Structure 1
Amino acid sequence: MAVNLQGSLLDLDDEVSLGDLGSGVHRLPLSRGAWIDLCPGWLRGASTLFEQLVDEVPWYAERRQMYERVVDVPRLLCFYGERDPLPQDILAEARDRLSAHYAEELGERFRTAGLCLYRDGRDSVAWHGDTIGRGRSADTMVAIVSLGSPRTLMLRPRGGGPSIKNLLGPGDLIVMGGSCQRTWEHAIPKTNRPVGPRISIQFRPRGVR
């Protein structure tokens, strides 16, 4: 797939590896039992991994019903279930490291990996919570690793309220936990600014989409 990424000056290491999940994680409490954890630059060599995933992942487009029309989903997708081998070993290592770090709070392992490719600023994801499955009624976690060009992930309380901006750069980790999926919403808005492509890697427990 022909996707051009200009490498970040902050990501000069070609070797792909993971950093520390201990002191590197900063927690931001939200309202109604929700919280997010942020770990900037957790994955090193993000540009290398980006290029590998662009070429190796079988990206596909989706169309969805939107009111009275069927529209294109404004990003490319690929989903890896519990038994599907991940396209790079570092993704399995990241899933295992996250499972170990959050074992006491989550009480289970991260099982699946959903990948999204945002080709440019026109690609986006609308306001939503991951409430298909257990996330609708129970606390859970969704861990996201960002690769490629920085994009803003917005969060806002469900039902209205001030929003929070998180600019996710290459290798950054954000974990949404507690009641976040059902009491808050998140989005990657479109932008008219010239931005390059981005890959989002979302790790989820069983039964959460």
Structure 2
Amino acid sequence: MPLDLFSDSHLQLPDAQLELHAQWLDPLTADAWLHQLLAQTPWQQPQVRLYGRVHPVPRLVAWYGDEDAAYRYSGLQHRPLPWTPLLAQIRQRLQATVGQALNGVLLNYYRDGNDSMGWHSDDEAELGANPVIVSLNLGGARRFDLRRKGQSRIEHSLRLEHGSLLVMAGPTQHYWQHQVAKTRRPCAPRLNLTFRLIRSTA
């Protein structure tokens, strides 16, 4: 995978601002957080309507945040669950790392290689003009693909490992899309936490 695109954790990508911290968490802490979050989270599998048909989202999800941090994505309005002590602790550490307030987190649970996230940008209006998306990865490693908006070719792929942190900021969401594709390769369950700042409840 093209991790040599990074210099001092920064991805050299035009019209984007990305940082990868490959070992942000030590393995023992990453293991503990993974096990606690998988056990404590009330997972849901929402359904979305595509081309007139209803499909279950191909992963399990949960949305936590401040009371006013409602979030709309994939055509669904999500009301936040209250912060747990562990998620509040993780948020505090991440805010210290990125230097910005974060008031919501989307948890995505990829049970195996059949679970996935389709191409998208985190560009909802309530995230503001240049959102900071802070993505903490726990569990099995998965490939994270990037492509230019309007293009079909994958330009870059990263392997997001257990305990790694990927930060997307600046104009990234204006010009780039990302996905976690299905894979036939055996892979352990993966938990991804994407923290963000909801600037309005539109």
* TM-score of the alignment, normalized to the shorter chain, above 0.5: yes
Unaligned runs of 5+ in 1: 1-24
- Residue 50 of structure 1 aligns with which residue? 34
For the Cα contact (< 8 Å) 1:57–1:87, is it kept in 2?
no
Q: What's the TM-score once normalised by structure 1's chain length?
A: 0.78
* CA distance 1:124–1:208, change in 2 (3 Å): farther
For the Cα contact (< 8 Å) 2:145–2:157, is it kept in 1?
yes
Shift of 1:101: 3.6
**Are residues 1:191 and 2:183 paired?**
yes
For the Cα contact (< 8 Å) 1:130–1:208, is it kept in 2?
no
Report the residue type matching 2:13 in the other structure. L
**Are residues 1:174 and 2:157 paired?**
no
Report the residue type matching 1:36 in the other structure. L
Question: Identity percentage over the alignment?
Answer: 34
Report the residue type matching 1:127 in the other structure. W
- Distance, in Å, in 2 between the alignment partners of 1:78 and 1:142 is 16
4+ long deviations beyond 6 Å: none
Q: What's the TM-score once normalised by structure 2's chain length?
A: 0.81
Q: Deviations over 1:13-61 (max 9, x none)?
A: xxxxxxxxxxxx61113222x1210101212221221111111000011
- Distance, in Å, in 1 between the alignment partners of 2:43 and 2:90 is 21
Q: Deviations over 1:137-181 (max 9, x none)?
A: 611210000011001111111122552111111110000111111
Other structure's SS at 2:103 match = strand
- Residue 153 of structure 1 aligns with which residue? 144
- Alpha carbon RMSD of aligned pairs, Å? 2.2
After TM superposition, the structure 1 stretch with the greater mean CA deviation from structure 2, 46-55 or 169-178, is: 46-55
Q: Deviations over 1:85-134 (max 9, x none)?
A: 43343x3233223323433xxxx511111101000000000000012224
Unaligned runs of 5+ in 2: 1-7, 68-80
